Chain A
C-alpha cells in the first residue's frame, strides 16, 4: 500500500443505537468538506489511550455524496483489542482524532444488473454506504440483514431511508432459518452478491454461491486488506552508521526517511524496484511484487517501501 494521508476529524455527534452499538459522526476539524469517500470504503482511526496507541479500521456508513460528515457505527465487543471499547467509553463529542484517508477494497461492480447485499449484524455498515450510493444512481438492489431479535428494530431504522428504492428484509430467525441457497438460486443473471459479517456467514455465502454455479467474480466479501504493518524491529544502516527502530504501523522506508536518510525510492508500493537494498544480516518478510521468487528466497535484497524484518533485526547496506 502507498502511504495514506491523514485527516484531522472532530467528533460531531455520538448516537447510542443499541446497548453495544454507537454511531460516531465526524466533521473535518479545520472546516470545509471531506473528500468524496469511496462507496464501501473504510477508515483507520488512531486512538490514543494514555500511552497506548491503537489503530482500528471501520467501514464508513455515510454515502459518498455525504461530504460534510463521515459516519461509522461501532460495536463494543467484549474481546475487542480495546479500540472499540475505548471509542464507546472514552471518546466524547468535540474530541479530535486522526483518521487515515478512506481506502476501499470492497466496491460495487459497475456491470452488475442487480446488487444483492447480505449483512450479518454489524456487517450492515458497508451495506449502508452501498445503499446510499445505489439510491443516488438508481441501481437495482435487494438487501438481507441478519440480526438478533433485540437489534432488529435498530437495523430496521437504519435501513428505512432506503426502503423506497431497495427490497429490504431483516431476518431474526438465525442462520439456520435463513434460506441462503434459495435466495442465491433465484437471482437473475447478472446479479452480484456482496457480504459482510462474521467469517462463517461470508464463507457460507461464497461456498453456496459457487456450488450453485455463480462465477467467483460476482461474489464480493468485505475486506480491510492485508496487514500493512507488523512486529516492530530494528534496522541497522551500515553505511550511515545509524540504528532505526521501525514501529508496528510504520514502513521501513518511512522510518529510514524519518531518521534523515534519503533512500532511493519511487512508487512506495513494491512495484518499481527503486528502493531495492542489499541485506547483510537478518531474515526478510517480502511483501513486494518486484523481486522474483528466487530473489526472495535468496534473501539478499529487500524492498524498503513494503517489506519488513522477519525477526528483531536487519542489517542493510545503506
Chain B
C-alpha cells in the first residue's frame, strides 16, 4: 500500500501531527516484557521484524515530508544542529551512498538513483528534488554530502570515527533529539557521551556495547530500541530549546494526559561504512500518544506495568517524575491483569475504540 504523506502536519505550536491506524500498528513499541531495565539490547538490523517499521534500512512513513520540513525549520533557526568535523569527509560520502542506495532499493516509488561513472543523479519524488552531482566532489551538491542526504531522511544521524579502540562522535545531524545536545557532544568519546546515563555504566552495558560496535562489519548493520516520554508530539526537544518545551511538562492534567503524553521511541541503527571505517548511527524517532497506544490491548497492559514499576533513577533521567503517576493512574483501569506474551508485536491488525 502506498503511504499517504501529510505534508502540512506540525510538530510544534499547533501540533497537528496525527497517526493513521496503520501508522499506530507499525509503531516500534519498545518493551518486549512487562518490566524494563537497561541491557545491551542490540540485534542484527535485518529487514522484517515485529512491526512494519523494521521493513527497510531507513524507515519512511506517512510523516516523511512533514518531518523533513520541520528539520529545515530547525536548521534555519540553529544551523549548528548539523556539523561534521573535517576528517569525516570520506564518511560523509559513505553515508550518502548508503542512504541513497538503500532508499532507492526499499522505496523505488519515491526515490531513484542512477549512475554514469562518478556522475550520479538522485531523484526524491516526495520532496520534488532532482539532483545531478559528481560523487566525491563536494562543490557539486548544495550542502555537504552528509547534510544533503540527512535533510532527506527521517530521524537524527551521527557519524562515529573509530580510533584506538574507541568511537568518537565527529559528525551529526540532530534536530529530533530527546534532550541531548549535539553541539555539546561533538568530538566526545563513546564513554563520554554516555556518561549521564544512570545505572547502565555500573552494569557494564557500555563497555560491552562498545566492544561489540568496534567489531561491527560492513553489510551487517545492527539495531536497538530506546525510549522516553515527551509532552505533545514535539520532535525538537533539544537542550538548546529547553525554555520552549520544558514548561510543557507542567501542562499535563488527569484530563489531558492521554492526549498530551507521548511514548517516544528511537529505532537506533548502526552501519559500518566502507571507505572511512566510520559508523553511521541512525536515531529514528517515533511518537505515539498514550491514547493511541491504548488502542492495542497488549501495549496498554504492558505500558501500564512498565511505567508503574520503573526504577526511580530511570524515571528521573527521562524527565518523568512530574507526570509519571498521572499516566499510571490513567492506564491502571485499562489493565485487566491478563498476562502478556513476550515481544513487541501488537498481535492485532485492528485498533480498539
Contact = CB atoms under 8 A, between A and B. Distances in A.
Contact of A1 (B42, B215, B278): B215
Nearest to A5: B219
A136 B41 CA distance: 38
Given A109-B163, A271-B211, A36 B274 contact: yes
A266 B42 contact: yes
B284 to A, nearest CB: 19
Interface string B238-272: 00000000000000000000000000000000001
Contacts of A104: 217-218, 272, 274, 277
B321 interface: no
Contact of B217 (A2, A109, A133, A273): A2
A269 interface: yes
Given A2-B44, A36-B274, 17 more contacts: A2-B215, A4-B217, A37-B274, A41-B274, A101-B220, A104-B274, A110-B87, A110-B163, A111-B161, A266-B40, A266-B42, A267-B212, A268-B43, A271-B42, A271-B208, A271-B212, A290-B208
Contacts of B208: 271-272, 289-290
Contacts of A289: 207-208, 211-212
A110 B90 contact: yes
A266 B217 contact: no
B275 A39 contact: yes
Contacts of A136: 136, 275
B220 A4 contact: yes
A198 interface: no
Contacts of A268: 43-44
Interface string A85-121: 0000000000000000111100111110000000000
A133 B87 CA distance: 15
Nearest to A110: B87
B220 A2 contact: yes
A111 B220 CA distance: 25
A217 B274 CA distance: 20
Interface of A: 1-5, 35-39, 41, 64, 101-104, 107-111, 133, 136-137, 216-217, 266-273, 289-290
B97 interface: yes
A36 B44 contact: no
Of the listed residues B88, B162, B272, B276, the one surrounded by the most CB atoms of chain A closer than 10 A to its CB is B276
Given A110-B88, A267-B43, A267-B212, A133 B218 contact: no
Contacts of B94: 36
Contacts, number: 114
B209 interface: yes
B91 interface: yes
Interface in B21-66: 39-44
A130 B292 CA distance: 52
- 9 closest A-B pairs by beta carbon, nearest first, are A107-B277, A271-B212, A217-B164, A272-B40, A36-B274, A38-B274, A110-B87, A271-B208, A289-B211
Contacts of A35: 218-219, 274
A217 B44 contact: no
B344 to A, nearest CB: 13
A39 B277 contact: yes
B75 interface: no
Contacts of A2: 44, 215, 217, 220, 222
A217 B275 contact: no
Contacts of B211: 271, 289
Contacts of A107: 162, 276-277
A272 B39 contact: yes
Contacts of B161: 110-111
A272 B38 CA distance: 11
A223 to B, nearest CB: 12
23 contacts: A1-B217, A4-B219, A5-B220, A36-B97, A36-B275, A38-B272, A38-B277, A39-B275, A101-B217, A107-B276, A110-B87, A110-B90, A110-B91, A110-B161, A110-B170, A136-B275, A137-B136, A217-B164, A266-B41, A269-B212, A272-B41, A272-B42, A273-B40
